[in-house]
Amino acid sequence: MRSFALAVIFAGVDQVLATRARCLVGDEEGTAQSWGLSRIAATSQPKASALPSEIAVDVHFHITSTTDYANLVTDEIIAAQWEILRDTYADYNITLTLVSTESIVDDLAGAGWLVFNGTAWNNYPEEQKAFFNSTRKGGYDDLNLYFFAPWSPGASGYCTFPTTVAGALPQPGDEAFYTDLCEISALSMPGVPADNATLDGYYYGHVAIHETGHWFGLNHTFAGGCNEPGDFVADTPATGIVYDCPAQSDTCPDVAGLDPIYNFMSYTNDTCTSEFTPGQKDRMFETFFSYRRISA
């Protein structure tokens, strides 16, 4: 689990939450770059046209907090986060249904299994695995979103790419099954009180949209930088990492197209991101029906 590596982010006990969101998903992870899906073009593909026209996914929210933050995430915040996540994916023929919401108060889990003991940061990977094994719900095609308060400095989220175990879908009991989920800082949820909204520009709920994109098989738009094959989607222009919302940004001037600053899979802020491309939609569909729910 990438969250185990959070300790490397810290310079000392005085470090606070990073002012820029940092997704811990590495674009080299899993089999995302070696699938037969490779570059899905923006135009229609024979494979894509043979797939179902809609994806329906059951979603489970796990609101996990330390004792001190137990009252941070209210029902109103949960509803606002759910609405923006559901409505965003509905625009791409992906129907999300929230089938369960649970609140867990656990000082170790709420801190992201990363605790400062006075001299060093300690993490607890075995406790983390046991927690997910006992709380993750549904099948491999169910989306489990864990919102942690306060979680850990220096990160906004992490989510798993789909994968296989011995060429088949992961099954209950497989580590790849019970660690298939998204971890998100609750401080990124819409409506979090201003004194807790320390992820500057990333507290309107778009972190959950971004991480869910990884769950559906999307890479960051800046994967590979200005070099091929980039994010394996043909209609997202090559780009470097871009923050804020700089109009006419072009970090790859020798490659056609301006930076995709409005794309949910970029690092621009929540007031900037607003779209996936047709090619990203195709990739989500091909990935889902190849690696999460095998299409007949």
pLDDT of residue 108: 95
Residue 232 reports pLDDT greater than 60: yes
Name the pairing type of β-strands 143-149 and 157-159. unpaired
pLDDT of residue 151: 81
Could you identify the residue written with the tokens 């869910």? 212
Residue range 266-283, pLDDT digits in tens: 999 999 999 999 999 999
- The residue ranges of every structural domain in the chain are 53-205
The pLDDT confidence band at residue 200, using thresholds 50, 70 and 90, is confident
State yes or no: is 286 an active-site residue. Answer: no
Q: Which residue in 211, 228, 275, 286 is the catalytic one?
A: 211
pLDDT of residue 47: 59
Tell me the CATH class for 53-205.
Answer: alpha beta
Helix (H) or strand (E) holding 281: helix 278-291
> How high is the mean pLDDT of the chain?
86
pLDDT of residue 184: 96
CA distance 108 to 162: 27
Q: Which residue has the higher pLDDT, 150 or 141?
A: 141
Chain centre to alpha carbon of residue 265:
9
Among 18-27, 31-40, 73-82, where is mean pLDDT lowest? 31-40
Residue 23 reports pLDDT greater than 90: no
